[in-house]
């Protein structure tokens, strides 16, 4: 039954996030909040809700390996799998602000998490690799700076604002969607974590491995579906923004909130996963600056997918 709930949990996580985004976006639209703000804040945070709920549940149950693996694995999957598959469908043009601001900000967030996890500068009692309350607050501070950047960017006129993607619903229905979405995320997160723990015991795999693979892939489904559909509909900027934004949310918002609720313990081997995010981000930047145009081509998309397959194989050998 635990394994059945594990699969059902993934479905409920994705659907719960979808319903929550619909409800929250409808309310925001009703009060004349711009489509751009809705897309880069409510929708992006909503698609990151599965990661958040899994991390909170894992932390409460003392299984931080699953939570850490979930975030790090999701970020690698977002760049290599989601952008790679999206580029295979249609090449992805990258705007100047994305190349020089958003991607470097995401890379900086990765370095910040790696630094905080490995050193103790705020607490002498800190033991091993971990993120504690003070470091969580600092991560949320940088997340607030990112929201400030989004707000200022939204005040300017751009040609990539999302149009006509959100339907206004009755206020009661919108609130009901939000409540149902939160309940779905809670149940889905609990069932996914419980199932991941049982799977790790059944196959003799580490909880970190399960978090980096099965859980990370499952919680990345909202980003994957959103980006693929967006690219198919020729809305490539939405796909790119979704991935970069989600990675920043995962590192600063999710790890920040999770470490405030309860300290998050890292394993030494997680440093290699942090390094993989850095490598993936560097590969993304390299693919953009190489060539005459700032685009991720289909060829480069295939390279991304091959690198991701190699990473999964490395995780399997690592056990």
Domain ranges of the chain: 1-158+167-318
Please enumerate in sequence order all residues whose Cβ is within 8 A of that of 309, keeping only pairs 6 or more positions apart, or say none: none
Cα–Cα distance measured from residue 261 to residue 281, given in angstroms and rounded to the nearest whole number: 29
Q: Are 53 and 195 in contact (CB under 8 A)?
A: no
Contact yes or no for 298/91 (Cβ under 8 A): yes
- What pLDDT was estimated at residue 283? 94
Burial tier of 206 (Cβ tally within 10 Å: 0-12, 13-18, 19+): middle
Q: What is the pLDDT of residue 210?
A: 82
Distance CA 195, CA 230 (A): 31
Q: Does domain 1-158+167-318 have CATH number 1.10.10.10?
A: no
Residue 124 in tokens: 């002498």
Residue 92 bridge partners (DSSP): 296
How far apart are the C-alpha atoms of 168 and 145, rounded to whole Å? 29
Q: What is the pLDDT along the chain (319 residues), one digit of tens a residue?
A: 777 877 887 788 777 767 776 776 677 667 666 555 665 667 677 767 777 878 887 877 777 888 888 899 999 999 999 999 999 998 888 888 778 888 999 999 999 999 999 987 776 666 678 898 899 999 999 999 998 988 887 776 554 444 444 556 788 887 887 788 777 777 776 777 778 777 777 777 787 888 888 788 877 777 777 677 767 767 677 678 778 888 999 999 999 998 998 888 888 889 999 999 999 999 999 998 887 778 999 999 999 999 999 999 998 888 6
Q: What does the pLDDT read at residue 163? A: 44
Q: What is the pTM of this model?
A: 0.81
The reported pLDDT for the residue numbered 221 is 75
- Which pLDDT value is given to residue 162? 45
As given in the structure block, the two tokens for residue 241 are 């923004």
Query: How confident is the model at residue 37, as a pLDDT?
Result: 62
Q: Cα–Cα distance between 201 and 72 in angstroms, integer? A: 21
Q: How far apart are the first and last CA of the chain?
A: 25
């Amino acid at each position: 039954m635990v394994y059945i709930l594990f699969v059902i949990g993934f479905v409920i996580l994705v659907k719960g996030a979808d319903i929550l985004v619909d409800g929250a976006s409808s309310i925001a639209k009703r009060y004349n909040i711009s489509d751009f703000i809705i897309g880069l804040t409510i929708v992006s945070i909503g698609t990151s809700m599965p990661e958040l709920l899994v991390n909170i549940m894992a932390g409460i149950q003392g299984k931080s390996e699953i939570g850490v693996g979930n975030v790090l694995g999701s970020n690698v999957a977002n760049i290599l799998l989601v952008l790679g598959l999206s580029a295979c469908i249609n090449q992805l043009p990258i705007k100047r602000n994305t190349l020089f601001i958003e991607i470097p900000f995401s890379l900086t967030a990765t370095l910040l998490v790696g630094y905080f996890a490995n050193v103790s500068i705020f607490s002498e009692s800190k033991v091993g690799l971990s993120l504690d309350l003070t470091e969580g607050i600092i991560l949320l501070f940088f997340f607030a700076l990112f929201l400030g950047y989004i707000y200022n960017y939204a005040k300017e006129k751009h040609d990539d604002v999302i149009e006509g993607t959100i339907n206004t619903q009755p206020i009661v229905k919108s609130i009901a969607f939000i409540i149902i979405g939160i309940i779905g995320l809670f149940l889905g997160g609990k069932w996914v974590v419980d199932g991941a723990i049982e799977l790790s015991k059944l196959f003799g795999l580490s909880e970190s491995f399960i978090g980096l693979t099965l859980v990370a892939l499952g919680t990345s489904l909202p980003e994957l579906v959103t980006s693929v559909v967006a690219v198919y509909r020729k809305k490539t900027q939405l796909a790119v923004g979704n991935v970069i934004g989600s990675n920043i949310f995962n590192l600063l918002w999710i790890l920040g909130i999770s470490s405030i609720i309860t300290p998050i313990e890292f394993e030494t081997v997680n440093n290699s996963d942090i390094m993989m995010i850095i490598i993936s981000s560097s590969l993304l930047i390299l693919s953009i600056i190489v060539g005459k145009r700032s685009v991720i081509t289909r060829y480069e998309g295939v390279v991304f997918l091959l690198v991701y397959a190699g990473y999964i194989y490395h995780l399997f050998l690592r056990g």
